[in-house]
Amino acid sequence: MPQLKLTYFDFHGGRGEPVRLALAIGGVAFEDHRFAYPEFADVRQTAPFGQVPVLEVDGVKVTQCDAMLRYAGKLAGLYPADPLQALYCDEVSFVVEEAGIKIGPTFRMTGDEQKAARLTLVNGSMPVYLRWLEKQLLAHGGEYFADGRLTVADLKVFVDIRALNSGRLDHVPTDLVQQVAPALNAHMERIAALPAVQAYYAQFAK
């Protein structure tokens, strides 16, 4: 097994969290290097493109969160072997990532500018992608997004929906998901209730 080190912000969310979850659920050993936001200026000096997460595999630094997630999923047994199911898995992951790219610039905004930008998303692209995800979930049986079992696509959506519901995103209503795509909330609750997921978060509650 390769030596793995994942470098990302010290919080339960964002682009690094699905990778952490996949490795932890699969019992894959890795160094979970977390840092506080004020340290980012130093971290980005040696990060590819100056961005995180960064996954080091036997000392080689790898960028791009969805590439990392697919790799972690393969190591953890959470990525489909069937090409079509893998396609469904990737499709979901990339849609969530695309939604994240849209909201990303708003984190550098404040005040009325941030409010206007986020409300534009709340009233525009957010409901579109949430409804699409719900449709995909229901089309594949209602429990998982691909392969009839837990995959990294479920983890990617789980982290995203939990963030939308958290209240940490100013000007994004905490009931947006419930109003637009309630099946995604039910999915989030099922993933959160999995023993492996509960065990992962329990270690941080001490």
Give tens-digit pLDDT for 20-77.
Answer: 999 999 999 999 999 999 999 999 999 999 999 999 999 999 999 999 999 999 999 9
Match 């696509």 to its residue by tokens.
Answer: 153
Contact 134, 181 (CB under 8 A): yes
Give the pLDDT of residue 206.
63
The pLDDT value recorded for residue 58 is: 98
φ, ψ of residue 77 to 5 degrees: the values are: 75, 25
The CATH architecture to which 83-194 belongs is: Up-down Bundle (1.20)
For residue 1, name the pLDDT band (cuts at 50, 70, 90): confident
Confirm if 146 and 153 have CB atoms less than 8 A apart: yes
Q: Is 141 left (phi over 0), alpha (psi -120 to 50) or beta?
A: left
CB distance 52 to 8 below 8 Å = yes
Determine the angle formed by the axes of helices 83-103 and 125-139, rounding to 10 degrees: 160
Residue 205, pLDDT score: 81
Determine the Cα–Cα distance for residues 44 and 51; give it in Å rounded to an integer: 6
Alpha-carbon separation of residue 22 from 42, 44, 74, 171, 183 (angstroms): 27, 24, 9, 30, 22
**Contact call for residues 201 and 147 (beta carbons, < 8 A):** no
- The residue ranges of every structural domain in the chain are 4-77, 83-194
* Residue owning tokens 């795509």: 181
Please give the helix or strand (H or E) that residue 62 lies within, else none. Answer: strand 60-62
Grade residue 178 by pLDDT with cuts at 50, 70 and 90.
very high
Residues 120 and 170 sit within 8 Å (Cβ to Cβ): no
**How sure is the predictor about 147, in pLDDT bands with cuts at 50, 70 and 90?**
very high
Architecture per CATH, domain 4-77, reads as 3-Layer(aba) Sandwich (3.40)
Cα angle at 149 between 94 and 30, to 5 degrees? 70
